[in-house]
Amino acid sequence: MCNVRSLFVVCSGVVCLCNFVYQSHVRFRVIALNSLCFVTPNYSAITSRCNLWRNFDDIQDSWASVESIIDYYGDNQDVIAANAAPGHWNDPDMLIIGNFGLSYEQSKVQMAIWAILAAPLLMSVDLRTIRPEYKAILQNKKIIAIDQDKLGIQGRRIYKHKGIEIWARPVTPIFENYFSYALAFVNRRTDGTPSDVAVALHEMGLLSPTGYRIQDLYEDVDYGVLSPQTKIKVKVNPTGVVILKADVQQNLIKQNFYKPYNPFTQVYPLRTINDFVKK
Ligand SMILES: *[C@@H]1O[C@H](CO)[C@@H](O)[C@H](O)[C@H]1NC(C)=O
């Protein structure tokens, strides 16, 4: 935890600090650009010199702290997200998964959103005592692969209403001009029951006429190949998350290899490309 004076010094001297780090060939250095700063960071200067910088308050071991970081990144994404790319990254601070402050569901939220944000996944847990279910979250290879996607595009909050948020991150593979996506459905509500979220793929910007193969990244569920018109429905636990990967299909024929299956999903018939061209 920093006191205000040291934060101010760090912030006002951020470019000099980064310069020093760069010239001394240290590969990574985290600079705190704290919300208590009275200066607007010059991101073009920072991205040209730093590999990694922190944008907001120190994380505390609590859900409230994780929420405040998620809100900060969502509310300021127009300024923040564009600065992330291979070689220079935003850092929302370390993972607190496996410590004391987060429930199991909340831990899944932090892992999912940090992957959407293309954040460094720095653990802070005591590996001697971590419980297996928390270890499994940290070792989730599919979500780590989202975090490490080679395009390095930081995801964004694309929907926020009544405690429900949808976050989307474009990832590989790409087909023609269409990205694949990681999609995180976050339930911030605390009313004690899961919330249903129903949305058509095209409403989230998934428009490829070849369709998308949809898989859940925490649960072993394969939704099959769905067209952009298909409405998916997910059940999201209170202060929890469902994170999906939508892999754009490489051609129209391939989609027939997969049979759509999911008990929670209404599956509409797949369309041909002509259905979309007519519209
Ligand atoms: C930000 O930094 C860049 C590169 O160092 C510089 O050219 C530019 O003038 C700075 N912008 C502001 C508003 O200080």
Query: Length of the chain, please?
Result: 279
Q: Is the pLDDT reported for residue 263 higher than 80?
A: no
pLDDT at 165: 97
Is residue 264 within 8 Å of 222, Cβ to Cβ?
A: no
Between the CA of 98 and the centroid of ligand 1 the distance, in Å, is: 41
Instruction: Give the global pTM.
Output: 0.81
Is residue 126 within 8 Å of 201, Cβ to Cβ?
A: no
How does pLDDT run across 184-231, given as a tens digit for each residue?
999 999 999 999 999 999 999 999 999 999 999 999 899 999 999 999
Mean pLDDT of the residues in the chain: 83
Distance CA 23, CA 12 (A): 19
The CATH superfamily holding the domain 156-248 is Golgi alpha-mannosidase II (2.60.40.1180)
How does residue 251 score in pLDDT terms, banded at 50, 70 and 90? confident
- 164-175: strand order across its sheet: 156-161, 164-175, 178-187, 240-248, 212-216, 222-226
Is residue 201 within 8 Å of 212, Cβ to Cβ?
A: yes
Q: Which atom of ligand 1 lies closest to the CA of 15?
A: 5
Between the CA of 43 and the centroid of ligand 1 the distance, in Å, is: 8
At residue 84, the 3 state secondary structure works out as coil
pLDDT at 257: 43
Residue 246, Cβ density class (10 Å: 0-12 exposed, 13-18 middle, ≥19 buried): buried
Q: Is the pLDDT reported for residue 8 higher than 80?
A: no
- The reply to whether ligand 1 has any atom less than 6 angstroms from the CB of 39 is no
How does pLDDT run across 69-126, given as a tens digit for each residue?
999 999 999 999 999 999 999 999 999 999 999 999 999 999 999 999 999 999 999 9
- The reply to whether ligand 1 has any atom less than 6 angstroms from the CB of 16 is no
Distance CA 8, CA 178 (A): 43
Distance CA 233, CA 201 (A): 10
- The reply to whether ligand 1 has any atom less than 6 angstroms from the CB of 42 is yes
Ligand 1 atom 2, closest CA: 45
pLDDT at 252: 72
Give the Å distances, CA to CA, from 207 to 100, 158, 212: 41, 15, 9
Average pLDDT over residues 161-167: 97
